Structure 1
Amino acid sequence: MRLCFLVEEHYRHDGMPLDVARQLTAWGHRVDVLRPGDSLLAISEEVRAGSHDAWVLKTVSGGPGLTLLESAAAVGLTTVNDVRSIRGVRDKALAAVIGRTRGLPVPVTYAAARWERLAEIPAAEYPLVVKPADGSSGRAVRLVRSPEQLLEVGPELAGEGLLIAQPYVPNSGTDLKVYCVDGELFATERSSPLHPGQGVRERQVPLTGSVARIVAQVGEVFGLDLYGVDVLLGPDGPVVVDVNDFPSFRQVPDAVARVARAVLRLARSGTAVSLPAGPAELVPAGGDPYGQRGFGEGELL
């Protein structure tokens, strides 16, 4: 198969997804890697039907890679994940509306284009977690404990575009990050970015039935196959605070091969939406479970 990976500069040296690209190349597939933030592309000529079997995106929110992915989808190419699903979670304000409307445990969410407007949120809703609607990697996330503190930190959020604010969910100071790869779920625990002093390194933890059901529902609601969900265990039960369309998959056993197999499955299906989950196939040493087509060295740019 011939695949195109769109990798933003922020992830240029990350193992995920570049190690996946290398694994696919080792299995005999052709993998082209484009860096949307540092490339000149004759987009109207290069993005065309038949150019690749599937396009895969690893990008920061708001990066140029999503436009390229949407261009590929517009000419009928398969994208991983489905580009409509990615758009639905990249905008955190939109994701909050979709999630709450479809019954996911998502906090009440306020949105404002100017931080000053957040001062209109009732004092009873504090503490608040405020962050950019297009944020990623913890950028500009603030725990605001009072209306007075909002006046102090608000100017730091100027220029971040649309902001969202959600009432803080009391918790133990740790987050659950649950990864989904082709229907299989893997849970890890880590210190919350709002409580960096907890000192809990990311580690695998057992997955409870209630959290597993919610994470599976996230995939159904947003139409995602490869994704991660940030969950807080609040006093009223699990709460979904973020959804990522192509996370790091840290602590997932044999993550590179698992994700590579999932990419191939989605590419061969011709769609990245609502695939039935099944047991992971075993790959013979040096082999590719789906056959080899389009041999060639991957262009890791």
Structure 2
Amino acid sequence: MMRDALLRDLSELAGVEAVATSDDRLAPPPCGEIHDVRERDDVWKAWASLARGCDVAWPIAPETGGVLSRLARLLGETGVDVIGPSEEAIAIASSKFLTAQRLRERGVPTPPVWRVSAAPDHTSPVVVKPDDGAGCDATLFLEEPPASIPAGSIVQPFVAGEAASLTVLRAHGATRLLSANRQHVAIEDGAFRFQGLTVGAIEDADGRLAALARAVGDALPGLDGIFGIDLVLGADGPVVIEINPRLTTAYCGLRESLGLNPVSLVPPFDVAPLAAWAGARPVEVRL
């Protein structure tokens, strides 16, 4: 969904030819120059080969297992301009532990985080999730401190409130909030389930969320392009949970929410002024 939305937006820009790969077992995207990848193909070689014939590359990948970092590095080595964060920013955002450390050092509100060996036994309820993960994958809600924790996990106190996310633009050294989104997250059998979101559903009349987005951008200056911030709107204000250093599911509804092509805000395609829209309107994206 993210790839197809980005292809659509790129293809509509004058002078831009969008190229992408597609698993040949799935329906191809509706636009762009599409290169099928078969199960036996080396997709990394395919990406590198295509990148050498392009001017700009925009990777979409989960940070889990170093995939996003590896893809961005591979594309950069071809000499193409890569839209997205620096390697250092990806490395920090890919670790829930390092992300929390960096945010707390910079005064950005985020819950405490503990490695398995240092997790207190008096805090409850807690959230247990992989340090190296994306979204709600393997994220558990526990009413009592766990007797055992999977290796590579981190522990945080559960923050009560409304699940939300920010879609943020970082360009020319400035950070701009594009939309504040309501996330549809359920807890089923002790596990978090992401079921979609409503893009632009949350208003930011007092500018608090925009200020938070800027604070995150300042805390991790290597962020670039369009990225996401997951947070909880609690009784004491917004609390950042994690940073997604890439396009997120919210991008699928961003164009309709903003009423303009989001790519037109991102260098080197930035042809629309930053004040080109009045704000976001609610657009639901279901999974």
User: How far, CA to CA, are the matches of 1:189 and 1:45 in structure 2?
Assistant: 34
User: How far, CA to CA, are the matches of 1:146 and 1:59 in structure 2?
Assistant: 34
Letter in 2 for 1:278: L
Name the SS for the 2:249 alignment partner: coil
Change (3 A) 1:45 1:90: closer
Is the 2:263–2:270 contact (alpha carbons within 8 Å) kept by the matching residues of 1? no
User: How far, CA to CA, are the matches of 2:227 and 2:248 in structure 1?
Assistant: 6
Is the 2:48–2:75 contact (alpha carbons within 8 Å) kept by the matching residues of 1? no
Matching of residues 204-215 of structure 1 within 5 Å = 204-207=201-204, 208-215=206-213
2:164 to 172, 176, 181: 176
Is the 1:177–1:188 contact (alpha carbons within 8 Å) kept by the matching residues of 2? yes
User: How far, CA to CA, are the matches of 2:253 and 2:157 in structure 1?
Assistant: 29
CA RMSD of aligned residues (A): 3.6
Letter in 1 for 2:203: P
Change (3 A) 1:24 1:122: closer
User: How far, CA to CA, are the matches of 2:253 and 2:5 in structure 1?
Assistant: 15
**Equivalence for 1:80:** 83
Matched, 1:185 2:166: no
Name the SS for the 2:275 alignment partner: coil
User: How far, CA to CA, are the matches of 1:258 and 1:111 in structure 2?
Assistant: 41
Q: Taking structure 2 as the reference length, what is the TM-score of the superposition?
A: 0.70
Change (3 A) 1:33 1:41: same
Change (3 A) 1:176 1:49: closer
Matching of residues 278-289 of structure 1 within 5 Å = 278-280=274-276
**Equivalence for 2:56:** 54
1:142 to 140, 143, 149: 140
User: How far, CA to CA, are the matches of 1:93 and 1:267 in structure 2?
Assistant: 34
**Equivalence for 1:230:** 230
Q: Taking structure 1 as the reference length, what is the TM-score of the superposition?
A: 0.67
Matching of residues 231-246 of structure 1 within 5 Å = 231-245=231-245, 246=247
**Equivalence for 1:92:** 96
Encode CA deviations 1:264-290: one digit per residue, 9 max, x unaligned. x24689xxxxxxx83349xxxxxxxxx
Identity of aligned residues (%): 22
Letter in 1 for 2:243: V
State the structure with bigger RCO (CA 8 A, min sep 6), 1 or 2. 1
Where does the alignment leave 5 or more consecutive residues of structure 2 unmatched? 24-36, 171-175, 278-287
Change (3 A) 1:33 1:235: same
Deviation at 1:91, TM superposition (A): 2.0
Deviation at 1:126, TM superposition (A): 2.1
Letter in 2 for 1:87: A
Is the 1:176–1:189 contact (alpha carbons within 8 Å) kept by the matching residues of 2? yes
Encode CA deviations 1:107-160: one digit per residue, 9 max, x unaligned. 111124xxxx4xx5223322211101121231111112213xx13xx4xx64xx
Deviation at 1:48, TM superposition (A): 9.9
Deviation at 1:166, TM superposition (A): 0.9
Change (3 A) 1:21 1:44: closer
Say which structure is richer in strand: 2
User: How far, CA to CA, are the matches of 1:212 and 1:101 in structure 2?
Assistant: 20
Where does the alignment leave 5 or more consecutive residues of structure 1 unmatched? 1-13, 270-276, 282-301
User: How far, CA to CA, are the matches of 1:228 and 1:244 in structure 2?
Assistant: 5
**Number of matched pairs:** 242
Change (3 A) 1:26 1:213: closer
Change (3 A) 1:97 1:266: farther
Say which structure is richer in helix: 1
Name the SS for the 1:30 alignment partner: coil
